[in-house]
Amino acid sequence: MRSLKFAALIAASWLVMPTQAQQLSGESSLLPEANYSNSEVTVEQVLGYPLGTKITSPADMSRYFEALQQAYPKQVKLLEYGKSWERRTLYYAVISSEDNMADFDGFMKGMQALADPRKTDSDKAEQLIDELPGSIWLSYGVHGNEISSPEAAMVTAYHLLHDQREQTQRWLDNTMVFIDPLQNPDGRARFVDRYYMSVGLEHSGDRRSAEHNEPWPNGRTNHYLFDMNRDWIALTQPEISGQIDALLKYYPLVFVDLHEMGGDSTYYFTPEARPYNPLITESQRETLNWIGKNNGQWFDEKGFDYFTREIFDAFYPGYGASWPLYQGSVAMTYEMASARGHLFDRTDGDVLTYADGVQQHFIASISTIQTVSERREALLQKFWEYRKSAVEAGEDGDVRSIILPAKDDPAAARKLASLLVEQGAEVKQAEKAFDVCGTDYEAGAYIIDMAQPAHRMIRTLMDKQVDMADDFLAEQEQRRNNNLPDQIYDVTGWSLPLMFNVDSHTCDDLPDVATAFVEEGRIEPGKVINPDAKVTFLVRWGDMNAGRFLTAALREGLEVRQSELAFTHESAGEFPSGSLILTRADNSDDLQTKLQKLAEASGATVEGVDTSWMTEGPNFGSHNVSKLEAPNIAIAWDEPVSPYSAGHTRFVIERQMGYPVTAIRTMQLLQNDLDGLDVLILPEGAYSGVFNDKSVEKIQRWVSDGGVLLTLGSASAWAVETGLLNTQLERKVPEEGVTEPDEEIKVDGKVIESREQLLTEIKPHGADPDWVPGALLNAKVDTKHWLSAGVKPQVVSIYNGNDVFTPIDIDHGRNIAWFAGADSLLASGFLWDDIAQQLPYKPLLMWQPSGKGMIISFTQEPTYRAYMDGLNTLLMNALFLAPAKAQ
């Protein structure tokens, strides 16, 4: 009897929970003027609750869209574009009139024809513009804890299929509507599960409540803890790369990425804030204003507050709301104040509900669909003209071709070439040696003809510098003088050749050489030269092909040695420091078979030799040749670690290098010993709040016993503050005239003769350097140290933040890499003048031996967004060679 009463009480409590959010619920309440037909595919009928009263799970969202497709097979297509890391299906819906959907393949072919003015003449283009429907791609939920937009995707689809008014039918006649309802199903699943676990008898709007404070990591990110709204140039995550594949099939004219922001805000839509990317055209900006103005009219009618232009720029091309712009589409971000649950108590006294967010995202969605429908012909014309002008810009510009020599780093060059192809560019590979613009190139070099429709996409990915407007930068300097934050929203440098540390040459001519089109494929299969070699197999170190080969060989159980020094073999030639050695004597009889398999998968070239004789450098038995063991690599996980840094780092090691990493929660690191770990990675994080003196002593003992501690970014600053790393953090260099404030109440008078002197007088003394949002800097490398084996004399690093370290003293360790001199420091992006003067010759990578082990400290994150590929060899040396060097 007691159990029955308890069950009834539980059921009653869950019935009470939704009531506070039901003041706005169900499809008809979101747009009262709509004339919806009777249907059995409302959210309530399919999922069991009214729309806007529950945060829908990814699985239920899929069920709903499947129900729509089943009910309206002539108007709805569901198409898959991939799987998330947690194996959830990634899909989009296409909705239009029955006539449009009957010729869906014809629409796709028509847009592809319109996208290439080299193959489609003006007459054919005019015909296509007259006949093709417009198109819009609405992407929802890239951040899993931005919860209202995926729900708005469901009601938008419902509305298009059920509203009987002539207006909506006309939209469908004129428009193909693509809906990606959930870009990040893994993050949303994480949020939904945790949110409902924290709810009590009633939903709480108190921002201090458990409902509004997610545990680590929050639902924003995907499985590997990426902010996928920064991944649109590197395409590291399947959720983004698959979406781009789909976009390049249809070239939708308008792309909208719908987000949430702080709950005390209102609603943001286009036009975007400054700085403007100069590769975005005035015609595109005109369209952004069309869309924003129509949105404003809808929001005025509904009584919704909104703002534009003040934040959310499109300068960085790695946003979802930026990338399509460089293909000729128009792209934008919409941001809704987030309840981050069912209810949120705003500071102005109002209560924001989840349904409020659903409704406003829905209104913005259909408003934008209306603009596309009514401006169909103009948008198609603008798209055609954009693609045509892109070809002309390549033909008439100073740079006709870009050449990537594939010799120095074939792995990085191949990956870069494939990334360009994956983003709609045409890349060719030379079948013979050639010379152009005074330079000789070997066969295999990659050639990019800039006279192609993807011209501006190629430029934004490949140009070494994209400048912000001078007046915008002057305004930011003024804000800095007034102790106000700058308005630079994200990184200012992102050139792929620089981040990959790949040579990229521009030329005003097009090479005259036989070529073949490059197809997608980031790894070109490797090979074994002289597979029947009697003695040894060698792999040149220095690129990711060799790195992937090493990790696979270690996981396969092969015995691998690595030379700290360069050597020259009598028949195979020169090998750089770090090169790998696999002898037949050390390995089993099936070594040849295993090597062929590993070479093909990794991209490495394995060279067999019949003698171990060297004409220069160490022989295989030298003390400069180390046997490599498969290290046990662990990474700190959970608070206070930066989820982004932890996720990026784990992803690079696991998915790019191919080696497993053990994630250990920080509480376990505190409570247990570190025995059995070879490498412990501390990603960026605020460790001082969790790791106490005993923790530091434990780590120090473990290092002294032979462990390798690898600290990244702010974790290196923490290592300095705790005394683990024997160097210092620098304050800002004092400016002339900036003096330490006098502590007395009355001081001697001083004459201030100008505003410039006034600005100097009020600057703080002993301040930290000003924050840099993200620039690419050149760094020099000590190539004589084993930690830099196989690394070029110069690399490019991200600089993000404001930490500046003093060089480590020679009696404590070595500075393996340091930022270049002032005249060559900035590789791409923007730096404040004062930090540009302070950073030269300050360390990027330090090595400090300690007992039998060592501390290796990157002052910046080498795995930042998993696109700093040019630093991967340094990282691999720290992970795989360093444990072999530990005593």
| pTM of the model as a whole | 0.95
HSE, CB side, 13 Å, CA atoms: give it for residue 163: 23
pLDDT at site 29: 82
% the chain with pLDDT above 70: 96
pLDDT at site 28: 78
pLDDT at site 5: 38
pLDDT surpasses 80 at 234: yes
Place of tokens 């046997």: 627
Instruction: Please name which of 160, 168, 136 lies closest in space to residue 76, comparing C-alpha atoms.
Output: 160
pLDDT at site 762: 79
How does DSSP assign 282-294, residue by residue? HHHHHHHHHHHHH
pLDDT surpasses 80 at 12: no
In terms of C-beta density within 10 A (0-12 exposed, 13-18 middle, 19 or more buried), how is residue 4 classed? Answer: exposed
pLDDT surpasses 50 at 746: yes
Average pLDDT (101-124) is 98
Q: In sequence order, what E strands does 520-570 have? A: 527-529, 536-539, 560-563, 567-569
Please give the CATH architecture assigned to the domain spanning 77-390.
3-Layer(aba) Sandwich (3.40)
Average pLDDT (677-683) is 98
pLDDT surpasses 60 at 775: yes
pLDDT surpasses 50 at 15: no
pLDDT at site 737: 65
pLDDT at site 30: 85
pLDDT at site 306: 97
pLDDT at site 742: 66
pLDDT at site 336: 98
Categorize the per-residue pLDDT at 24 as very low, low, confident or very high, splitting at 50, 70 and 90: low
pLDDT surpasses 60 at 22: no
Average pLDDT (726-731) is 97
pLDDT at site 70: 97
pLDDT at site 7: 38
pLDDT for 253-283, tens place per residue? 999 999 999 999 999 999 998 999 999 999 9
pLDDT for 158-186, tens place per residue? 999 999 999 999 999 999 999 999 999 99
Q: Where in the chain is the domain with CATH 3.30.70?
A: 398-459+483-517
The correct answer on CATH 1.10.287 for the domain covering 398-459+483-517 is no
pLDDT surpasses 80 at 427: yes
pLDDT for 286-295, tens place per residue? 999 999 999 9
CATH class held by domain 633-732+754-885:
alpha beta
Which phi and psi angles does 704 have, rounded to 5°? Answer: -60, -30
Average pLDDT (380-398) is 98
% the chain with pLDDT above 90: 90
Which phi and psi angles does 638 have, rounded to 5°? Answer: 85, 180
Average pLDDT, the chain: 94
pLDDT at site 681: 98
pLDDT surpasses 80 at 3: no
Q: Where in the chain is the domain with CATH 3.40.50.880?
A: 633-732+754-885
Contacts of 12 (CB under 8 A, 6+ apart): none
Residues 340 and 204 sit within 8 Å (Cβ to Cβ): no
Q: Where in the chain is the domain with CATH 3.40.630.10?
A: 77-390
pLDDT surpasses 80 at 373: yes
pLDDT surpasses 80 at 126: yes
Dist. CA 727–CA 847, nearest whole Å: 11
pLDDT at site 25: 57
Instruction: Name the 3-class secondary structure at 179.
Output: strand
pLDDT for 452-485, tens place per residue? 999 999 999 999 999 999 999 999 999 998 889 9
Element (H, E) at 731: none
pLDDT for 45-76, tens place per residue? 999 999 999 999 999 999 999 999 999 999 99
Average pLDDT (623-632) is 96
pLDDT surpasses 70 at 676: yes
Element (H, E) at 570: none
Residues 738 and 712 sit within 8 Å (Cβ to Cβ): no
